[in-house]
Structure 1
Amino acid sequence: MALGGSQIERALGIKWCVVSDQFHFRVIVDERPLSRRGVLSTVASIYDPLGFVAPFILVGKQILQEMCRDKIGWDEPLSEDLKPRWESWLLDLKNLADVKIRRCYLPEGFEKVERYELHHFSDASVKGYGECSYLRAISVSNQVSCSLVIGKARVTPTKITTIPRLELSAAVIAVRTSDLLKRELEVQAQEFFWTDSKVVLGYINNNARRFHIFVANRIQRIQEGSDPDQWRYVSSEDNPADHASRGLTAKGLITSNWLTGPDFLWHDKLPAYDVKVGDLGAEDPELRSTFVHKTLATEDSLLNHFSRFSSWTRLVKAIARLMRCVKEVKGLVSRTNEVTSLEERKEAELFIISTVQKEVFSEEIKDLKSKKQITRDSTNRLRKLNPFLDEMDVLRVGELLDDMTSDAFINALRTLIAIRGNVRQLRSDQGTNFAGARREFLESVKKMDQEGLKQLGCEFVMNPASASHMGGAWERQIRTIRSVLTSILDHSSKRLDTSSLRTYFYEVMAIINSRPLTTHLLSDPSSPQPLTPNHILTMKSSVVLPPPGEFVKEDLYLRKRWRKVQYLANEFWTRWKGEYLLNLQQRNKWYKTQRNAKINDIVILMDNSLPRNEWKLAKVTKVYPSEDGVIRKLELLMSDAALDDQGKRVNKPVYLERPIHKTVTLVEAE
């Protein structure tokens, strides 16, 4: 094809004639050896990104696939049966110059478009499969124009595959092409999918049958990208995708309906192919076989056996003995004739409780295992009790609260007095923003008899409404403790029984009551330990230390409950020292210049290697300014509680150098 250089431009790897506004193909066939390497080089040299000549290229791909199937070497010559086919295809390659595709989807003089339609056709054969998509435009005066947008043609896999599976694979390509065109085309178009396989239509419209994995995955992909109502039947004679599955010569491309689409797309109305797709037969090889087994069984509930025992103790002993026998048969424990231990009876009790719960609260347990919560309707018997399953799958409920009446509060106050003695004064906040249980508590406080409280030796003082800042000292303390407790118990409360939780609260109380009450004499490192609430409550000066041993997170999942409690107590200490102790020194250093440390400042030295409550006091004896004048390193004189009768040090003074971020300033030097 002889064209002037100024009339031809390159577009997407093909030629564009500016004068006629058409795409052309111009292939120069170089001399290449008649071998597998030469065939691959020639086929790959045809660049056709939109698939305009895909049926023609498919023939060359089929010849290459046969060479691969016959395991012909890269430089071996073509066989006698493939050589004439290849030479014929090479001669036809020059005829691609006669193929012309209009660049614009709409012809010149086409009136205003009323609507667009995208029509996707798919087909498959034993040699290939593919699809072609056409843009159909209808004007306001019912003019119709149809243009090829994109086409795809692929050779079938070397592994033998059934025609229905190939047809289904071609339908998947059509759906993927639809997704591509919806992203790239700047028009809103109604979509139609066409296939000449009634089997594929039956698969796509199926909702009841189960298929093998190959078919099931492709049906799922088709249903995700299209609606079953969009799929229609087209006869093989009218299906242009038939060329993408069998191949065409260059002249066949021009004379076929590949570039223009089927004739019915050029009519005013689409044909109504009323093809009924019947139900899939059980003999379809793609259907997965389903086996149904019917069994009859009579269930003898364990609860019937439990009811035969005259007492709870006898039932527990019997179940404990039975569970021991099971372990002996399995070889988990050695045989013995001793009476059951306390641990074995405890395990038997949990088994009995769990069995009864599964019978009585089966639906609630099922909900907790699947949704982690129960249904909150009026028919649920546990809806108000915050139920949960512990690590043994035993159904339990949250910490039951007493009523919020005046009597209940007085009982709680009497409990405190019985443990700690008479309370001189109680202070409370009655903020108007309280809600729920707090609001009920305030109402109960207002109804209490003040004279009755005075008989208890206690004065109850409430702050005015909306003046919670008047209780800032204890409000901050309560908030810090509550936030740490909440975060820890949210993840661990289900692993604690009542006694373990009570012990944990006592450990927390010991930590909180070990904080200093005053800064008096803190400026002297040789002075006694600072006064704490524990000194007043216990009348002892010793620090409450944790039990010996290391406690790790895995202790939460062991049966030794005391280790669970100690691990959680250490977690509280770690969180509390970070959220409360560090509040003694405001950490504004990132955006505000702070006071430099000075000689004779009294500080607490943070040491993560020491047990909780044993951080030591120290006095700054020397500072080391940096080049910018900021103090970042200190020399400290460590405090020592070992004093003689005259209040002097017994041991030699200890000086340490530490970075400033390891200290918390308590008293600033004058």
Structure 2
Amino acid sequence: MFVSSYRIAANHIFPSLEDQLRNRINYDFSERTIDDENEPSKEDKQFLDIVSKSTSFVNGHYVIDMPFKSEDVQMPNNSKQAEQRLIALSKRFTRDHDFHKQYVTIMDKVINESYAQGVSEKLMHKMMVISVSSKHEAVALINDIQNLLKQGGFHIAKWISNDRDVVNYVPIEEQAKEIKDLDLNQDSLPIYRALGVQWCVDYYEFRFKIDVKDKPATRRGMLSMTSGVFDPLGFLAPFTLVRKGTLQELCKLDVGWDDAIQQALFEKRTQWLCNLEKLSEFRVNRCLKPSGFGKLISADLHHFADASEIGYDVVSYLHIENEEGNTYCLFIMGKSRVTPLKQVTIPRLELTVATVAVRTNKMILSELEIPVQRSYFWTDSMTVLRYIKITTSRFHTFVANRLAVIHEGSNICDCRYINSKLNPADLVSRGVSAEGLLRMDQWIVPPDFLLKAKNEWPNSLNYDSDIIESILNSRPITRNTDSHRDLEPLTPNHLLLMKQKPNLPPGVFSKTDNYCRRRWRQIQYMTNLFWQRWIREYLPLLQERQKLHEIKRNLQIGDVVLVVDSNATRNSWPMGIIVETILDRAGLIR
């Protein structure tokens, strides 16, 4: 069918490169709604209605009506116009030999480099990757897929598998071209390139061979080289974030696209290019369930989030357990972004990356075939955890929108605290070189505690409880003597630690420490609050009111007493000697 088109109507103008880059940097700060999926427009619904009503199966192929807006459309016969254009092009070839050579050269290059190929009547080009637990299931799956597609007039080819028996089952003409000439009994299976990474079929792992051509030392050239590293699953997130940060810095400096960059940025660019070659040594195991692992009884997702002034990121791991109690944990994906151009506080960045973790969890659950029981979200920001646990207060729009995303996509009890030293996402927010990525195994390899029992997982309350226990253990268990010459009374700490106080005197902490990033200062402030309340509210209850029970002698000069001071530091029990007394009208010491 030929369609005449004398006019072109454009209803969409692509934004400039500058706007696209800025929108990408500010991706998570556009105050979008909870659900990223847009509802179909009226025109979209009209198109879907045409497809559903007109689809038919004729001579082994599906036939669908053209989706015209109007039902009364008369299509002109423009076959003669198409023939005239072909004749005009042939005449130009005869008239302009240089144009003819350029045309042939370009088309040969397109065909030779597999950018285009002849279309077979049976060809349906769509890559499909499926994993099964045994070779018998793989063979059955191949038959099912071929029979199903054959019913629709489609043909699937280019089969490849990490099991040689499965490959031998597939006819040679339908195998991937990389393995057609191999001796499967002796030769190693090739490394298959897919979506910017190399799939090592024999070991079922991903590798990287990045060939980025050197570009001019301009902002445009740096953007081109950065885009050449295609890493959709975030395997190289700690490394690529450094480069994204350089582009962000150029945006802030408002450098022109073709202007030369500063010397300091040029040195970073050179160092980054040198590191690209070292990524060929990077390996990522992609087997989610090891062979012979057995039947699964549980599967959990763990998402770790972190933010810094450079950027914010999420890294996700899958934790599975079999019937025998054996566990296995594996890297799923990472996601990193630079901070927006407008300065944003760290707590807001931490809250934003928590929403990114929730969206990442939703995406993984929709794609993962393994049934997941629970999804855990880990952060080293106590501010974010306090926000999440508050369900009755009202917040500003920025905080409220992100809390709505978090509450809708997660359970409050599954949001947990982790120390920055144990948080693998902290590696991305700081950025590392290629050498550092190869040397450190805390990115691809999950944290050790995920392989332990849940009661051994990090918990921010453990340290608080230890301090409270230490305070209570410093109370005397023997009689306090009135003489300052006697030894100090025994306490539980004497029996455990051979001394009354296990730690050095604490520092001075105020309410402002509750909002700082350092976790230990927050814990110290909370511990001080407990100490003050214990001194002010509970300790007086332990003292018997003498005047209501029996008559005791008055305090005298030289008696040793315990001084109650609300400003005293915790674990401090100041004692004093009475040097003066004052009698009231009844002759009692007050």
* TM-score tier (shorter): 0.3 to 0.5
Under a length normalisation based on structure 1, what TM-score does the superposition of the two structures give? 0.40
Higher relative contact order (CA 8 A, sep 6+): 2
Higher Cα Rg: structure 1 or 2? 1
